[in-house]
Amino acid sequence: MLKNDPLKRVLYIDLSSKKFWIEERRDLFEKYIGGTGVASALLEEECPKEIDPQDPKNPIILAVGPSTGLFPIVSKTVSMFLSPHNKLLGESHAGGRSAVALRLAGYGAVIIRGKSNIPVYLVIDSNGVKFRDARALWGLSVSETGRFIREREKGSGLRSILRIGRAGETGVTYSCVVTETYRHFGRLGLGALFGYKKLKAIVIEGGKKALPVTDRKLYKETYDDILTRLRENPSLKKYYELGTAVNIIPLNMLGALPTRNLKETRFEKAENICGEYFAENLLGRRLACAHCPMACIHIAALRTPYEDEPYFYKTTFISYDYEPIYATGSMIGVGSAEGVLRLLDSIDNYGFDVMSTGVVLAWTTEAFEKGLINEEHTLGLEPKFGDVETYLKMLFHLANQSNEFYTALARGVDFTSQKYGGEDFALAFGGNEMSGYHTGYGIHITHLTGSRHSHLDSAGYSYDQKTKLKELDIHKLVEKLFKEEAYRQVLSSAICCFFGRSVFDFETLARMFSLSGFGYEAKDLEKLGQDILIRKYHFKKARNFAPSKLRIPRRIFETISPHGKLDEKVLKTAVKLYEEMIEKRGGGACK
């Protein structure tokens, strides 16, 4: 890497002693690029083996990469930690402005250790860190927190404000961290870890710095080439036109849209919550992450009247995407876009992960139907599929963990179903609630084997939709998913938005890195991707994880997918094959 590149600077922050310092870690960036590569190495250094996620030693690690600030759509920040939700590898990526802000503040990574005695928020700029009293912000919603901090701190346009809501404060294990109102470090509970540490928010102020490149002319040419390819690639159109919500109708037609806790896969009201409906009736604005031409962030303008005064309205701006619509729409039987938006607004303001929350509400509704729980558990509420008002009330109890039942529910469906029954329809894999796809074997192999148990790890749903059942070869599928996940480790080390994956092949990535003085060739990157994936596997294996030991909810074998009724034996064989494959390639030699 280039000598004068600030990427090598790692900012260490200790919340217990309110101290910070900067270390130069060229070694890490030269070896692992940035993002996931560097963060996973730092996690290994920082996170002791035997701790509980609540331990102050559980670190929060943020990392960006060399191409952030240099190239378009390379604007995501990776976070890593021991997950409060599944007690395994916590990894979450967010768009917005944090990556560019961190890069221009002059850091490649941030490590947050310890626990504060009082609620604080941090201001990170090129001079280091300021610790600010956040006692007056504790208990506030995500949007109120953003508003107060926005007015108090400087740097508008170059800054990022990461914050938690009530769910993070009380330690809901699937609470998230919200950034720039509309982007999230979702899944796996980074919000809860902020809460444990009494960390309400982080402001990152980017400076107006220059970033060095090896060859100025070549840099401009490479930039133009990548931008042109991003603009001209027809497969990217869907992200900026209707947005990811475009997938609702095709997945529903395919019979792959989880509906009413995956009792069904077709939702009769899909047309009322689809991307087309949102765009025609509610889309108020489109926004972009910093340094990204896509503008894939779709914001609905929801106009609602106040009941107590005539001709008195408010207009709320709420972002929507495929997964949030699945989670607060079909999965809990809500068939109106306005209902979906009201739930999303509340979920965002408490700071829940939306996918886990949708699955939690779906499980609760079915458990209530089946009599496993009753009004005593729910504090008098009677959840029914489609009942938005009741769900809104439940979100309040969930965020505040109002009684023993809601406290269990705040740990997800895996935990709750072990206590109250209903494991067969508790739709979580590796402790993480399912994504919006019941497309076939591929997606569930991804759910079970992915290092984050996220649909984005190896995107099995995409292979399912391209493969007919009679063409299905489980060996080939497992191999493909492994390769895909290994490739994505390089993407998330760069760290490029996955939406640009069709443009960022290994050759392109190597060209981009070379402009920051990295000497990688495509084949080195391929190898590095596998190494990073295996290191993440080690982290989990050292905490007693094995894919073949995971519980598989029966419901996925009962509800017909586009690949027909899934065979438990086939799925288990596939997971075993994956485990053998990763063990053979280095997973066995646990450090």
Partner 1 sequence: MATGRLKVLDPDRCVGCQLCMFACQRRTGQAGLAESAIHVRSRGGLSRGLTVIVCRACEDPPCLAVCPTGALIKRKGGGVVLAAKKCIGCGFCREACPLNAIFWNDETQKPVICMHCGYCAEYCPHQVIALEEAA
Residues near partner 1, by CB under 8 A: 69-70, 72, 100, 104, 146-147, 150-151, 156-158, 180-182, 206-213, 216-217, 219-220, 223, 227, 231, 285-295, 299, 317
Which residue number, 210 or 589, has a Cβ lying nearer to partner 1?
210
Tokens representing residue 194 in the block = 């902020």
Contacts of 582 (CB under 8 A, 6+ apart): 482, 533, 534, 537
Phi then psi for residue 278, to 5 deg, are -60, -45
Report the sign of the C-alpha dihedral through residues 363, 187, 257, 330, in that order: positive
Q: How far is the CB of 572 from partner 1 (least distance, A)?
A: 45
Could you tell me if 124 and 204 are in contact, meaning their C-beta atoms sit under 8 angstroms apart?
A: yes
Which residue number, 125 or 169, has a Cβ lying nearer to partner 1?
125
Which residue number, 208 or 466, has a Cβ lying nearer to partner 1?
208
* Orientation angle between helical segments 35-46 and 522-541, nearest 10 degrees: 30
Could you tell me if 453 and 433 are in contact, meaning their C-beta atoms sit under 8 angstroms apart?
A: no
Which residue number, 288 or 542, has a Cβ lying nearer to partner 1?
288
Report the sign of the C-alpha dihedral through residues 318, 324, 330, 331, in that order: negative
Which residue number, 151 or 308, has a Cβ lying nearer to partner 1?
151
Which residue number, 80 or 294, has a Cβ lying nearer to partner 1?
294
Return the half-sphere exposure (C-beta side, CA atoms, 13 A cut-off) of residue 397. Answer: 21
Edge-to-edge strand list for the sheet holding 297-305: 283-287, 297-305, 313-320
Q: How far is the CB of 293 from partner 1 (least distance, A)?
A: 5
Q: How far is the CB of 384 from partner 1 (least distance, A)?
A: 32
Count Cβ neighbours within 10 Å for each residue of 18-34 and write b for 16 or more, e otherwise: eebeeeebeebbeebbb
Rounded to whole angstroms, the Cα distance separating 250 from 254 reads 6
Q: How far is the CB of 383 from partner 1 (least distance, A)?
A: 30
Which residue number, 30 or 224, has a Cβ lying nearer to partner 1?
224
Residue 360, SS3 per DSSP: helix
Listed residue (178, 244, 252, 174) closest to 433, CA to CA: 174
Q: How far is the CB of 126 from partner 1 (least distance, A)?
A: 9
What are the CA-CA distances from residue 512 to residues 28, 75, 294, 505, 538 (Å)?
18, 14, 19, 11, 29
Q: How far is the CB of 395 from partner 1 (least distance, A)?
A: 21
| 24: β partners | 9
Which residue number, 70 or 399, has a Cβ lying nearer to partner 1?
70
Could you tell me if 345 and 143 are in contact, meaning their C-beta atoms sit under 8 angstroms apart?
A: no
Which residue number, 53 or 146, has a Cβ lying nearer to partner 1?
146
Q: How far is the CB of 74 from partner 1 (least distance, A)?
A: 11
Q: How far is the CB of 441 from partner 1 (least distance, A)?
A: 38
| 199: β partners | 120
Tokens representing residue 513 in the block = 């890195």
Which residue number, 88 or 100, has a Cβ lying nearer to partner 1?
100
Q: How far is the CB of 65 from partner 1 (least distance, A)?
A: 13
Q: How far is the CB of 515 from partner 1 (least distance, A)?
A: 8
How are beta strands 77-82 and 89-94 bridged, if at all? Answer: antiparallel
Report the sign of the C-alpha dihedral through residues 504, 510, 513, 515, in that order: negative
Could you tell me if 185 and 198 are in contact, meaning their C-beta atoms sit under 8 angstroms apart?
A: no
